Amino acid sequence: MTELPYLLALSQLYDLARFGEKLDLSTPRALQAALGWPVRFPRAVLVGGTNGKGSTCAFLEAVLRRAGVRTGLFTSPHLVSFRERIRVDGEDVDEQTVWEAAFRVLGVAADAGIEPSFFEVAHAMASVIFAEAGVDVAIWEVGLGGRLDATNVCHPEASAVVTVGLDHQDVLGPTLADIAREKAAIFRPGRPALTVASGAALAALRAATPGQLAVVQPSPDLPELPLPGEHQRHNAALALALASCLGVEPDPDALLDVRWPGRAERIGNVILDCAHNPAGAEALAAFLRDRVRGPIHLVFGAMAGKDVAGVIAHLEPLVSSVAVVTPQYPRRLDASALVPLFTQVPAWDAGTVEDALSALPADRLTLVTGSCFLVGEARALMTGQEFPEGGLLTTAR
């Protein structure tokens, strides 16, 4: 049963999201100072990138745990439960740990006259939880960009920018060069700086990281990964390289332990994938061409501010029908606005995610994609979990 203090904590946290996001390190630094800088206690690894950073973090966590390292992992957004954002030794933190950390951070912020955002509080909570749990290594997934993201207040022993693509251009800048500069700011002078980017993205990242960038390539000896797709082989190789930077002898077989929901995840006859930008959709399309035979039915929804046409361009040639949905998320795009963007295959407004899942065709595989928030809602419905958690709708990413 969900504890009342946990729901009260979530309500207070989500209320902060009404005031929007902040890209400014002064508040997270002030919050860390008021808390006694818990973020400095564990060794740290910082992972950013347009796509692939969450999977890379999950691979790294598994590799380190196999080597006997006690890990903390901070990621965003969550799919179903806030607890997914903060993991200790591979397990989501429990409700009591969340509400205790939330009330502590919010209380310290109030006493110090600090007005943090939702993400800044979530990050501070993770730093407190990791310090008190005595983790050896904290793995921080960058939330947005890098230079001014709250995660960038740590002192990483190694950093990685997985990929660089055109996303969040309203915040990070209009070009690959602009975005690469924002992401490269998580690198530290004299410390390992890694990537698996290629082509124009790699060139932009090299220009922003003179003289210290190492490009990682996957080994042909990697095992068959639980997260499918060639892009995941690159993410796994990057995780192994990061572990080596920490002085850990990585065991590639540890990669087999990874379970990362919503990344080409198959449940019955449905594939769930969080692709939400053209680069992510391109990687998903490559996986589908390689692994799926026969017609595919698409359940698609998207959030405002995304290059939806770019995502559709990669996916539409691979599907035979499209049910467009309106997810339960405040920043969603209405299904009726998305239907006209599909011009090559039959597409219709299927209403809610639940409506679409209740009418899946039996004669073909179904792909659910377009947003992490859509995937979270669909996954909750398919696995019998409450959605939204505690009945609390939020704009938090």
Distance CA 285, CA 288 (A): 5
pLDDT tens, 122-144?
999 999 999 999 999 999 999 98
CATH homologous superfamily of domain 265-391? Mur ligase, C-terminal domain (3.90.190.20)
| Helix residue ranges, H only, 74-168 | 95-112, 118-133
Strands (E), 58-190: 71-74, 86-88, 91-92, 137-141, 158-161
pLDDT for res 17? 83
Q: Matching CATH topology for 4-257 and 265-391?
A: no
User: What is d(CA 154, CA 138) in angstroms, rounded to the nearest whole number?
Assistant: 10
Specify the pLDDT at position 309: 96
Q: Which residues contact 375 (CB under 8 A, 6 or more apart)?
A: 79, 262, 272, 273, 274, 368, 369
Q: Please name which of 94, 126, 48, 85 lies closest in space to residue 396, comparing C-alpha atoms.
A: 85
Low-confidence ranges of the chain (pLDDT < 70): 1, 19-20
Can you give the pTM of this predicted structure? 0.95
What is the pLDDT, as a whole number, of residue 202?
94
Q: Which helix (H) or strand (E) holds 11?
A: helix 4-16
Model pLDDT, residue 1: 58
Q: Which long-range contacts (CB under 8 A, 24 or more apart) does 83-86 make?
A: 85/122, 85/126, 86/122, 86/125, 86/126, 86/129
In whole angstroms, what separates CA 11 from the centre of its chain? Answer: 22
The pLDDT value recorded for residue 312 is 97
What is the rounded CA–CA span in Å between residue 381 and residue 84? Answer: 17
State both tokens at 368: 């659910």
Domain map (residue ranges) of the chain? 4-257, 265-391
Class of domain 4-257: alpha beta
Per-residue pLDDT of 69-106, as tens digits, reads 999 999 999 999 999 999 999 999 999 999 999 999 99
